[in-house]
């Protein structure tokens, strides 16, 4: 229940093939880390699961419409929108963009601002924030969607220790509420703390399972092209 099933998925950007027959099961109500070297296909896999990139073959089964937190560098800082309005956009899935926010919507928005500790900057424009502050606003927006499937592409990239801790705590909280989480990360210590791990290389799934069984010294050395440690 609540799992994501990826069956023999192929995907391309124009003529460039980026996923080659990828099959995986992402367990429900668990945190799955998606790891691999630059260009391995991690974002492409999330794009396919989010429905942003249509597979050229194969299929994906989701438990529900996902909330997708992309990297903050992909969101224009020039948007004339406040942090609170950014988080409020997360409620559109529930009420549509033109309906008034309900009392419940406002409570969820306040809670998400609090969880990421951005209440004090809620009225500032997104474009006037640091990269890390903007990233926190985007994670808060993802949480505000209250989807049963949360996809995050490197949500902690460039964040300070406190912000990383806040994100980890927020993800722990929603996982315990039954949300299925997929998190792309370059931090193998973060991946080690996940319930499940997918290791990608050159658009293929190299291994899946508990992080310790996936991230063996040999696989890490091969996937990242670095000397074997240990
Ligand atoms: N919009 C695009 N158009 C063409 N090729 C793309 C596009 N986006 C990604 N690619 C290519 O697809 C391949 C997989 O990229 P992807 O972004 O999925 O990798 P990634 O594992 O998320 O990498 P990173 O760790 O650098 O974020 C790469 O070869 C990349 O150059």
What ipTM describes this predicted complex? 0.98
Spell out the residues 6+ positions from residue 7 whose beta carbon is closer than 8 angstroms to its own. 23, 58, 59, 60, 61
Q: Which pLDDT score is estimated for 94?
A: 74
Residues 60-66, mean pLDDT to the nearest whole number = 94
Closest atom of ligand 1 to 47 CA is: 18
32 lines ligand 1 (CB under 6 A): no
Q: Which pLDDT score is estimated for 141?
A: 95
Which of the 8 DSSP states describes residue 101? P
| Six-digit token string for 117 | 């500790």
Please say if the pLDDT value at position 216 is more than 70. Answer: yes
Mean pLDDT check: name the lowest of 34-48, 69-83, 108-122.
69-83
62 lines ligand 1 (CB under 6 A): no
Separation CA 220–CA 91 (nearest Å): 39
- Per the CB < 8 A criterion, the answer to whether 58 and 10 are in contact is yes
Please say if the pLDDT value at position 73 is more than 70. Answer: no
CA torsion 189-49-26-144 (nearest 10°) is: 70
Instruction: Please report the DSSP string for 2-21 in residue order.
Output: --EEEEEEEEEETTEEEEEE
Task: Give the CA distances from residue 201 to residues 26, 27, 51, 70, in Å, rounded to whole numbers and listed in that order.
Answer: 17, 21, 22, 21
42 lines ligand 1 (CB under 6 A): yes
Residues 81-100, mean pLDDT to the nearest whole number = 85
19 lines ligand 1 (CB under 6 A): no
Q: Which pLDDT score is estimated for 79?
A: 73
Residues 62-67, mean pLDDT to the nearest whole number = 93
Nearest 5°: the CA angle 119, 121, 126 is 120
Mean pLDDT check: name the lowest of 3-7, 15-19, 49-53, 75-79.
75-79
Question: Which pLDDT tens digit goes with each residue over 4-36?
Answer: 999 999 999 999 999 999 999 999 999 999 999
Spell out the residues 6+ positions from residue 96 whose beta carbon is closer than 8 angstroms to its own. none
Place of tokens 């990826």: 6
Mutate to test the pocket of ligand 1, among 9, 13, 53 (most ligand atoms within 8 A of CB): 13
């Amino acid at each position: 229940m609540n799992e994501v099933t990826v069956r023999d998925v192929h995907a391309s950007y124009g003529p460039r093939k980026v996923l080659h027959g990828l099959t995986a099961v992402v367990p429900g109500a668990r945190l799955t880390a998606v790891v691999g070297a630059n260009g391995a296909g991690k974002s492409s896999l999330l794009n396919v699961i989010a429905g942003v990139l249509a597979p050229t073959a194969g299929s994906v089964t989701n438990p529900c419409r996902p909330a997708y937190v992309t990297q903050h560098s992909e969101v224009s800082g020039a948007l004339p929108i406040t942090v609170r309005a950014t988080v409020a956009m997360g409620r559109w899935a529930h009420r549509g963009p033109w309906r008034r926010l309900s009392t419940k919507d406002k409570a969820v928005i306040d809670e998400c601002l609090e969880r990421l500790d951005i209440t004090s900057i809620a009225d500032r424009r997104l474009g006037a924030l640091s990269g890390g502050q903007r990233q926190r606003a985007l994670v808060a927006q993802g949480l505000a969607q209250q989807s049963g499937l949360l996809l995050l592409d490197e949500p902690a990239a460039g964040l300070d220790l406190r912000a990383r801790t806040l994100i980890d705590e927020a993800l722990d909280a929603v996982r315990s509420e039954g949300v299925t989480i997929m998190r792309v990360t370059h931090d193998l210590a973060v991946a080690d703390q996940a319930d499940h791990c997918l290791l990608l290389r050159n658009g293929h799934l190299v291994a899946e399972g508990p992080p310790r069984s996936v991230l063996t010294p040999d696989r890490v050395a091969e996937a990242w092209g670095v000397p074997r440690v240990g």
